[in-house]
Amino acid sequence: MPYVVIVYDMQADRTHLLLNYLRRYLTHVQNSVFEGELTDGELEAVRDRIDSTLDPGESTIIYELGSEKLLSRDVFGDDPKEDDRFL
């Protein structure tokens, strides 16, 4: 399963559109930043939803890795991913 980091920039009154959707699949680690593993089907659905949601002037970047093992991740302060263990 691919490991993804998704970063988006939207008008403040519209951020909830992606925030609520992406929370279904990924961990919310920062304002407008999500990460986690997705199946290929989930990733395709997320790409389609993002593409249909964005207005002109808004953007999203999806960083895709083959797996989380290929990711070097340094966190300073509290790590939001640690909260996943308790869900």
- Overall number of domains in the chain: 1
Asked whether residue 24 is assigned to any structural domain, the reply reads yes
Asked whether residue 84 is assigned to any structural domain, the reply reads no
Q: So what's the pLDDT on residue 68?
A: 67
Asked whether residue 74 is assigned to any structural domain, the reply reads no
Q: Which residue has the higher pLDDT, 81 or 87?
A: 81
Asked whether residue 76 is assigned to any structural domain, the reply reads no
pLDDT at 83 over 90: no
Give tens-digit pLDDT for 42-65: 999 999 999 999 999 999 999 998
Asked whether residue 85 is assigned to any structural domain, the reply reads no
- Counting DSSP H helices and E strands in the chain, the numbers are 2, 4
Give tens-digit pLDDT for 4-29: 999 999 999 999 999 999 999 999 99
CATH number of residue 29's parent domain:
3.30.70.240
Domain that holds residue 32: 3-68
pTM: 0.81
What is the per-residue burial (b if ≥16 Cβ within 10 Å, else e) of 21-45?
Answer: bbeebbbebeebbbbbbbeeebbee
